[in-house]
Structure formats: structure tokens, C-alpha cells
Amino acid sequence: MNPVESLKAKVRDIPDFPKPGILFKDITPLVKDPASLRLAVHHLLHPFLGRDITAVAGMEARGFIFGALAAWELGVGFVPLRKPGKLPYNVQSVSYDLEYGSASLEAHIDAVGPGDKVLLIDDLLATGGTAQASCGLIESLGAEVVALGFVVELEALGGREKLAGYPVHSLLRF
Ligand SMILES: O=P(O)(O)OC[C@H]1O[C@H](OP(=O)(O)OP(=O)(O)O)[C@H](O)[C@@H]1O
Ligand SMILES: Nc1ncnc2[nH]cnc12
């Protein structure tokens, strides 16, 4: 099996979390294993090396894990997209639906701006609600979304279709 596919064994299935009927894909076993974490970040970023990217943005909370590592590897800054009420300065907000509820994200109004070329990174793509809303948030601040990267993609939930028009890269497709 190729090394990236072998990472699938590090994603743990938790049935009925956080609600009955949801099969939760738990990435904590992958993240706690140093070789798996390094391999995942390396392959997540492979398509983006050498690209004109000025910032990485990541969605709270699990997107912070891979987003911050991605920013470090690319040598650019990291922009946190946070759950409501957490950012201290003036914010721009966006609301959206996800597989098991609805939510909002916020960014500081000066987090990115015109001329910025942003790579959006999250742990997982499910319905695409979070990612689509995050694209809107970044664009509402005048920046461009260059591409999106996810460690896990749940293909049956159709997130990729919701992101039509954006380059989407995922590592582990279930
Ligand atoms: O494609 P979607 O249907 O929008 O779902 C994907 C989102 O759901 C999870 O985040 P969650 O909101 O559960 O927050 P967390 O990272 O704080 O656990 C995951 O980390 C993605 O951000
Ligand atoms: N099934 C799932 N497992 C883990 N995170 C998720 N975010 C949205 N759907 C999810």
C-alpha cells in the first residue's frame, strides 16, 4: 500500500458522534503519531510548493493543527478563522450549515486584504459548508482564495461540488 493510503488506518471511526447517525472521523491518532503527522503535512502541501501564496488560513479548531503547520512549511503567516466571540478586534462574520448543525466563523477585518493569495486548510471536507463559507469570508476581505487543502474528504457528502471553481486537494478520501 502506498504510504499516504496507509495513513487511513490512523483515522478512527466513532459511530454516532456528536449525534446519532454521524460516523465521526477522528484524526487524533494520526496527529499524535510523529511520522504520520509529518507525512500528512508533506503530502497535503505537495501541490502548493512554489505557488504564489501569501497566507494560510485555517478553520477553528482542527484546521488550526494543519493550517499552522502548513504556514510554517510554506514560510507564510497563519490566519485563524475563529468561532464567534473569540477574536478581540473588529471582525467579519459568516454563518453556514455543516454535517451535524450550523455554525459561524469570524476573521479580523485586517487579517487579509487585496493582493493576498490565500491557501485554506482544514482537517476534513464533509458537506463543504465550512469551506464554502470560509472562501466567502476571505473574499469579503478582498483577498483571493488560491486553493483549498484537506487531510480527509468524505466524498459521499459532496463538499467538492460545493467548491466548484476552486482547486481542491485532499489526501485521504473515504
Ligand atoms: O464540510 P462540513 O460539513 O462543513 O464539515 C467540516 C467541518 O466540520 C469540522 O469542524 P467542526 O465545526 O466540527 O469544528 P471543530 O474543528 O472545532 O471540531 C471539520 O473540522 C471541518 O471544519
Ligand atoms: N463525519 C465527520 N467526522 C469528523 N469531522 C466532521 N466534520 C463534519 N463531518 C465530520
d(CA 135, CA 133) in angstroms, rounded, equals 5
Closest by Cα among 57, 28, 31 to 149: 57
Of 99, 106, 153, 160, the catalytic one is 99
ipTM of the modeled complex: 0.99
User: Which tens digits make up the pLDDT trace of 6-28?
Assistant: 999 999 999 999 999 999 999 99
State yes or no: pLDDT of 1 exceeds 90.
no
pLDDT tier at 114, thresholds 50, 70, 90: very high
27-72 residue pLDDT tens:
999 999 999 999 999 999 999 999 999 999 999 999 999 999 999 9
CB 68 near ligand 2, within 6 Å: no
Per residue in 116-151, pLDDT (tens digit) is 999 999 999 999 999 999 999 999 999 999 999 999
Q: Quick one: pLDDT at residue 100?
A: 86
Task: Please report the pLDDT score of residue 137 as a whole number.
Answer: 98
Q: How far is the CA of 109 from the centre of ligand 2 (A)?
A: 28
Domains of the chain, by residue range, sit at 52-173
Ligand 1 close to Cβ of residue 125 (< 6 A): yes
Q: What is the dihedral of CA 66, 105, 134, 58, to 10 degrees?
A: -10
Our answer to whether residue 99 is catalytic in this structure is: yes
Centre of ligand 2 to C-alpha 60, Å, is 13
Tell whether omega for the bond before 61 is within 30 degrees of 0, i.e. cis.
yes
- Looking at 3.40.50.2020, 3.40.50.670, 3.30.70.270, 1.10.3720.10, the CATH number of the domain 52-173 comes to 3.40.50.2020
Instruction: Assess contact for 146 and 53: CB atoms under 8 A.
Output: yes
Q: Residue 98: which pLDDT band, with cuts at 50, 70 and 90?
A: confident
Ligand 2 and 98: CB distance under 6 A: yes
Mutational pocket test of ligand 1: of 24, 25, 122, the residue with most ligand atoms within 8 Å of the beta carbon? 122
Give which of 108, 28, 123 is closest to 68, Cα–Cα. Answer: 123
Q: Which pLDDT value is given to residue 130? A: 96
* Pocket flag, ligand 2, residue 22 (CB < 6 Å): yes
Of the ranges 47-56, 94-103, 111-120, which one carries the lowest mean pLDDT score?
94-103
pLDDT at 168: 98
Question: 30 CA to middle of ligand 1, Å?
Answer: 17
